[in-house]
Amino acid sequence: MNLELIINLSYIVSAALFIFGLKMLSSPASARKGNMLSALGMLLAVVATLLTQGLAFKWIIIGVAVGGILGILSARLIAMTAMPEMVALLNGSGGIASLLVGWAVYHFQPASSVLTTFTIFLSVLIGGVTFTGSLIAWAKLSEKLPGKPIMYPGQKIVNVLILVAIIAGGIIYCMNPAANYSIFLGIVGLSLILGILVVIPIGGADMPVVISLLNSYSGLAACAAGFVIQNNILIVAGSLVGASGIILTQIMCKAMNRSLGNVLFSGFGSTVQKQSADVEGEVKPIVVADAYFILEAARSVTFVPGYGMAVAQAQHAVRELGEILEANGAEVTYAIHPVAGRMPGHMNVLLAEANVPYDQLIEMDDINPIIETVDVAVVIGANDVVNPAARHDEASPIYGMPIINVDKAKTVFVLKRSMNTGFAGVQNELFYYDNTRMLFGDAKQSIQGLVAEFKN
């Protein structure tokens, strides 16, 4: 069996592993195995590709070892609460890699075929936008930049003009690539600038959509790079990532009842719209000791995690309280809103890290029909995704967004540091409802206080 046949068979096996791994990622119970299958497929693809270049096994092993060490360090040292930032950087890494591949091929082979020339242009454009866009997303998520949208007059016109200039430059470059190196460099520069400008007007509340969209961009850039170097497995892998990212983006938009165009161009959160009616009622605070007595008598408890739980790093304490409640005879569930947190599946990741059983994680569409039977709903750091105004207040910026209807539970505990609004900038009506009790303070400390009450 010759080397070329072995390499092609390796590519087929890698593609199959990618597909099965991606399928398994759709369920929390099989996600870990799916990730391992995909990693195995990537290892096989990388080794096979390096063999086509005649690279000695010694250097392949060294490269795998260095990459493996970096991966282990990243997984061990990066906190789970910083996972959205890490995902943004990984997306950016994929983008800049595709850009550099396209640039390298053009630099050493300027007189390429029309297909290669065009795909070089695409890999540079999409890769550049992905790289700088991901850096801005990382800066917003890590609070290096303001989470609020950054807007300026004529912003959309500037973006359109830059895109037109890139396309025009791409046409000129493709007509005679060997003689237009300066135009190519201009395309690289404008692509990097465009990536910055398209992400700065997007607010922190829309980061789940942006992260999934940038993930799709990185896949499309990799696919284009695959055509550039004529590597079948890179084309397949890039196509899978690009397609799955687009599907996930659509799911995120649907969960927010907004279009992708609205997310990208509306500057959601840059202004605060006035609600159609003032929130009426009186806030009813509660202390840990009193909350304990209510939970001790509850037969069903649903936790609703949000970004505040991630900030407080309260997931382990929540899991411990859940186990105590189960031992006390209560049925415990965790209601997950699709866009809670700062990346797709953010709450699932945090709760999985705390070893919360997968079968206790309930999606929004499944918990809402039975929420009225829940004795106590415990909202931990969530705000806009549980605001009843989304159902009836047409003047609210979150009107029409599907929410978890925790207000219909028999009793609601809201764990917050203060009465500050969520990212949408509107007061949460839930805080003033008769069945709501506000447990103010750090979420982790409040949950640990409840755990201590049960143990005592």
Taking alpha carbons only, the member of 376, 400, 370 closest to residue 387 is 400
Active site residue 384: yes
Residue with tokens 């046949």: 5
How far apart, in Å, are the Cα atoms of 324 and each of 318, 330, 333, 450, 454? Answer: 10, 9, 13, 10, 8
CA distance 252 to 402: 11
What amino acid occupies position 83? Answer: M
Residue with tokens 């850096």: 135
CA distance 46 to 30: 24
Q: Residue 138 corresponds to which tokens in the numbers above?
A: 């990382």
Q: Give Cα 110 distance to the centre of its chain.
A: 37
350 contacts 361 by C-beta, under 8 angstroms: no
Among the options 384, 407, 434, 442, which is catalytic?
384
CA distance 40 to 17: 7
Helix/strand/coil for 285: strand
Q: Residue 308 corresponds to which tokens in the numbers above?
A: 């505040």
CA distance 152 to 147: 16
How many of the other CB atoms lie within 10 Å of CB of 11?
23
Q: Which residues of 45-75 are buried (b: 16+ CB within 10 A; e: fewer)?
A: bbbbbbbeeeeeeeebeeeeeeeeeeeeeee
CA distance 91 to 101: 16
Residues identified as active-site = 384
